[in-house]
Structure 1
Amino acid sequence: MILTLTSDPLILRKLAKVATGMRLDLVEADRLPEEADLEAPPAAVVVELASGDWLEVATGTKGRWPQTMLVGVLGVPDPAIWAEAEDLGFDMVTTKGAIGRALPKRLEAWQKDPGGRRLRLFAVDEVAGRLGVVKRLDHPETGPVAVYHLAGDLVAVSDLCPHAGAMLSHGEVSVDDGIVTCPEHGSRFDTRSGERVRGPAD
């Protein structure tokens, strides 16, 4: 089920198409229902960020249904509201015009991996024009993260080798194929897929 807390006709039309295509029910509400009112948690809760109570909706949704995808919709892009919504736990922020295209892919991926939400790490313009390792971060939700700029793609992966805990970002990386080599024992990993290419790491 997709639960929506908006009365905007354009958003509702687009959500109806998404729900039909994904074989989900679309439920319109003017407030978050009590858990007892629903047979199962919704797959997604969609909130128009122009409404005054979206902060309460964010905390209420994540408090009741941590596995539910929380989606915020803006009439026009507003970087300040967008960033605030992401900081408050919205798993996806989009515009009215893009929700019909963006939501199905993101919701399908979310249903396969409910914990796999996007985290805002830094502004892309901070690393423009650089290749290889462009950032090393210690994020509170993920631990050490290395961000690589590889042939036009930005890729963020765990910076710890699973074999002995060495910092992978201190090893060599090929910007052509995205393979990083652990500086400690030579294990190799594909930064785009996370797969081990060569041991000794498992």
Structure 2
Amino acid sequence: MRTAADVYPPFGLRVVAGPIEMRGLTDELLLELCDVAERGIHDPDEMPFYVPWSSAPAGELSRNTAQYHWGKRATFSPDDFCLDLAVLVDGRVVGAQGVAARNFPVTRTGETGSWLGREFQGRGIGTAMRRVFCALLFDHLGFEEITSAAFLDNPASLGVSRKVGYTETGVTRVRRREGELARTQGLLLTPGTFVRDDVPLEVTGAAAVRGFIGIGDA
């Protein structure tokens, strides 16, 4: 009998690196992630995300989060996908890490994004999980470059990117919230600039995901 991971291979992806674990975002983990979001991600007067999804009221935030991930599963294809993983520390869900890509079999690039529950911030988890995720993308999933971006008034996110080895590209003017101008710093990571740590990765399920994103066993 088929399993959920047979039908949707990202469910079977698991990465362990010291206390950091990343797993495919099953419904069980998604519910835990919704609880983390409901407990808070940032101050109400701040907005670190391009789309201000985290400003939804209690209850609605959980529903929006679940619907977003359900929708991305339904439309997943090598030409347009978001690979999102739950991040756990010592077995407890603390946030999410993902990458969005278009035409991946040709471009071999994607943009990373992540968030941590506010209660878990300031402990170095953000840097550790980004390093783990980028190592997974470069070493196991065929990525040749990785991009990211952060608002100029989000020094914590920019600091993580610099520690991991992203280099700055350009600054873009965008609308953040209704009527609000913000500037984002573009970032680029390559295998040559990637600042790794010495924690080995234990990865399972990568071969099936490679096939799912259109590169087979390359």
TM over 0.5: no
Higher relative contact order at CA 8 Å, sep ≥6: structure 1 or structure 2?
A: 2
Scaled by the length of structure 1, what TM-score is found? 0.28
**Who wins on radius of gyration, i.e. which is larger?**
1
Q: Which has the higher helix share?
A: 2
Q: TM-score, normalised to structure 2's length?
A: 0.26
